[in-house]
């Protein structure tokens, strides 16, 4: 015999206090599956029962999970013959001009990996740009909701930006990389701390002993000083007299003018560097090894850390879909940072002490 409605709100089943379909079922006195059918206006549910379910949902403040609604729409479309229909996620960029993010190899690879994995999971990944002067944040939010898109994969912000100028209250959001500090969202990034430690240790294994770090301060801050701190921890393996002070001007453009004086003063025999444009280090003496913290290819020219951009993109999509399934929307006061370790890639730029490098000259 079905339980009668008590007229009182039951305790939410969700650990975060959100009202679930189970709560609605308990208040309406029917099964969870019947509630699901009633919310879809299924003909198998009598009108009186459907009205009771809707009244219970309103009383509890129940909201449909938009991902479930989107997937149900996709299934209905497929049932009608539209086999290619997919629920959509947004790839949100902020670069000016809007297409300029494609000039950065890591961003292109993040996007390609995320797009491929989204397809595997049954989603499409559509690009939207806050850098388009015709696309104000409020208009974009309205457009996304109208298209049933509730999941945002946020691309790394441009320049030194750390704030995403977009209201994510009604969206689940995951950031690629470290750049988004506000609002608080979960992020998936390369493990910069581990990468710096690994680069230092490989320099030691190659025989280098006077190992220095060249790192622009603005880049270090953007990455929450994780490269710097990883290097400093690894440096503790050496006696104090062998620990080279970091070359850290404000921007990367200042490094070439200071580079050789720093090398001469501290007798540096290997430089771990973070610059995207390796030619800024090419003025170093040819016997100084050069090791990048962000190797972008496997040609063997540049030694350093090959970031696992494919895994970063895949993990970000999986995290975003999981947040949508739970309907975990808006900013969080305790954002998570999911780190993906890179691998060492040997290269001609660091052949070992006393040997002239054959790259970056």
Buried b / exposed e across 47-57, counting CB within 10 Å, b at 16+? eebbebbbebb
Q: Which of 219-233, 289-303, 334-348 has the lowest mean pLDDT?
A: 289-303
pLDDT digits 0-9 by tens, 55-110: 888 888 776 655 555 554 444 444 444 444 468 999 999 999 999 999 888 899 99
Residues 211 and 301 in one domain: yes
78 found inside a domain: no
What are the two backbone dihedrals, phi and then psi, of residue 303, each rounded to the nearest 5 degrees? -80, 150
pLDDT digits 0-9 by tens, 219-275: 999 999 999 999 999 999 999 999 999 999 999 999 999 999 999 999 999 999 987
74 found inside a domain: no
Residues 168 and 224 in one domain: no
Q: What is the CATH number of the domain that holds 294?
A: 3.40.50.2300
Residue 40 banded pLDDT, cuts 50, 70, 90: low
72 found inside a domain: no
Query: pTM to 2 decimals?
Result: 0.78
Q: How many domains does the chain have?
A: 3
- CB count within 10 Å of CB 266 equals 15
Residues 236 and 286 in one domain: yes
pLDDT at 3: 40
Report the first-to-last Cα separation within the chain, whole angstroms: 83
247 found inside a domain: yes
Final residue in a domain of this structure, among 47, 63, 79 = 63
Residues 202 and 277 in one domain: yes
pLDDT at 75: 46
Provide the residue range defining the domain that includes 141.
Answer: 87-184+310-341
356 found inside a domain: no
Contact 46, 39 (CB under 8 A): no
Residues 232 and 281 in one domain: yes
Residues 211 and 287 in one domain: yes
Residues 266 and 284 in one domain: yes
pLDDT at 64: 62
294 found inside a domain: yes
pLDDT digits 0-9 by tens, 118-154: 999 889 999 999 998 888 999 999 999 888 899 999 9
Residues 176 and 42 in one domain: no
360 found inside a domain: no
Q: What is the CATH number of the domain that holds 53?
A: 1.10.260.40
Residues 101 and 176 in one domain: yes
pLDDT at 15: 46
Which three-class secondary structure string do you get for the chain?
Answer: CCCCCCCCCCCCCCCCCCCCHHHHHHHHCCCHHHHHHHHCCCCCCCHHHHHHHHHHHHHHCCCCCHHHHHHHHHHHHHHCCCCCCCEEEEEEECCCCHHHHHHCHHHHHHHHHHHHHHHHCCEEEEEEECCCCCCCHHHHHHHHHHCCCCEEEECCCCCCCCECCCCCCCCEEEEECCCCCECCCEEEEECHHHHHHHHHHHHHHHCCCCEEEECCHHHHHHCCCHHHHHHHHHHCCCCHHHCCCCECCCCHHHHHHHHHHHHHHHCCCEEEECCCCHHHHCCCCCCCEEEEEEECCCCCCCEEEECCHHHHHHHHHHHHHHHHHHCCCCCCCCCCEEEECCEEECCCCCCCCCCCCCCCC
47 found inside a domain: yes
Residues 323 and 295 in one domain: no
Average pLDDT, the chain: 86
Residues 196 and 303 in one domain: yes
Residues 199 and 266 in one domain: yes
Sheet of strand 303-306, all strands in order from the earlier edge strand to the far edge? 211-214, 270-273, 289-295, 303-306, 343-345
């Amino acid at each position: 015999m079905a339980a009668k409605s008590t007229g009182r709100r039951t305790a939410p089943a969700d650990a975060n206090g959100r009202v679930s379909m189970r709560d609605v079922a308990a208040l309406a006195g029917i099964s969870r599956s019947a509630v699901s059918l009633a919310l879809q206006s299924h003909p198998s549910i009598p009108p009186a029962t459907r009205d009771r379910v809707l009244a219970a949902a309103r009383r509890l403040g129940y909201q449909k999970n938009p991902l479930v609604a989107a997937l149900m729409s996709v299934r209905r479309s497929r049932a009608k013959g539209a086999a290619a229909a997919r629920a959509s996620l947004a790839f949100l960029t902020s670069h000016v001009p809007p297409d300029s993010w494609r000039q950065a190899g890591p961003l292109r690879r993040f996007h390609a990996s995320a797009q491929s994995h989204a397809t595997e999971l049954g989603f499409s990944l559509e690009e939207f740009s806050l850098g388009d002067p015709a696309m104000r944040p409020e208009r974009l939010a309205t457009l996304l909701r109208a298209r049933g898109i509730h999941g945002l994969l946020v691309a790394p912000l441009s320049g030194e930006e750390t704030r995403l100028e977009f209201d994510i209250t009604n969206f689940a959001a995951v950031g690629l990389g470290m750049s988004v500090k506000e609002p608080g969202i979960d992020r998936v990034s390369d493990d910069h701390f581990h990468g710096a430690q690994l680069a230092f240790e490989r320099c030691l294994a190659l025989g280098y002993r006077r190992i220095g770090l060249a790192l622009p301060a603005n880049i270090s801050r953007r990455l929450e000083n994780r490269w710097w701190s990883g290097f400093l921890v690894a440096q503790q393996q050496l006696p104090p007299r062998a620990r080279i002070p970091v070359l850290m001007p404000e921007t990367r453009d200042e490094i070439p003018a200071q580079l050789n004086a720093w090398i001469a003063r501290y007798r540096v025999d290997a430089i771990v560097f973070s610059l995207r444009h390796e030619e800024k280090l090419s003025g170093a003496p040819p016997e100084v090894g050069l090791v990048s913290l962000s190797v972008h290819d496997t040609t063997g020219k540049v030694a350093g850390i090959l970031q696992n951009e494919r895994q970063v993109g895949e993990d970000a999509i999986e995290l975003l879909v999981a947040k949508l399934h739970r309907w975990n929307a808006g900013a969080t006061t305790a954002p998570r940072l999911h780190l993906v370790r890179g691998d060492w890639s040997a290269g001609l730029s660091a052949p070992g002490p006393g040997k002239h490098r054959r790259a970056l000259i």
